[in-house]
């Protein structure tokens, strides 16, 4: 069983820029219901099928499997809800943790979020200076919800 423990924050300013190269992500959701999401993601020449369970505090079940890029592209075009999630992800190592900064594009342009995966829900972390308000408990910021209620429409 795979358990993801993650906290999510708004990003402040631009001081994080230049700390990492970004990768373009394109993802879509085949299904989202009862707080369970089935996602297809393409990152460069790699692609994944991911199933995520409901969030309980900062944790949820997550199962992710590599799939052929051709299959992922076909699923995105024929099975996934619109709009897609389009973003550039930057991975920055800071004080022993990997922070993933997502700079959204498309209908979510202007939104920049940082996520950090933890080994324990009670793990104490020191926040980088570019980290702002925590939004881990705000479902509006879940990628699966940004498809249905894009940032540009808030």
Contact (CB, 8 A) for 94 and 101:
no
Which residue shows structure tokens 């700390």?
Answer: 19
**Alpha-carbon distances of 14 from 72, 85, 108, rounded to whole Å:** 33, 22, 18
What pairing do the DSSP bridges indicate for beta strands 3-11 and 22-33?
Answer: unpaired
Catalytic, 48? Answer no
Which residue shows structure tokens 């460069």?
Answer: 44
Set 9, 25, 29, 90: catalytic member: 29
Active site residues: 29
């Amino acid at each position: 069983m795979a358990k993801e423990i993650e906290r999510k924050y708004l990003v402040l300013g631009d001081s994080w820029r230049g700390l990492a190269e970004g990768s373009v992500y394109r993802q879509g959701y085949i299904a989202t219901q009862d707080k369970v999401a089935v996602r297809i993601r393409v990152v460069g020449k790699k692609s994944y099928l991911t199933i995520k369970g409901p969030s309980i505090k900062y944790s949820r079940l997550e199962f992710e499997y590599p799939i052929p890029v051709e299959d992922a592209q076909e699923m995105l075009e024929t099975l996934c809800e619109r709009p897609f999630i389009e973003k550039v992800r930057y991975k920055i190592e800071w004080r022993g943790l990997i922070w993933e900064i997502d700079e959204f594009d498309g209908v979510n342009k202007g939104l920049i979020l940082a996520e950090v995966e933890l080994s324990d829900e009670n793990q104490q972390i020191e926040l980088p200076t570019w980290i702002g308000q925590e939004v881990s408990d705000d479902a509006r910021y879940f990628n699966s919800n940004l498809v249905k209620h894009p940032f540009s429409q808030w």
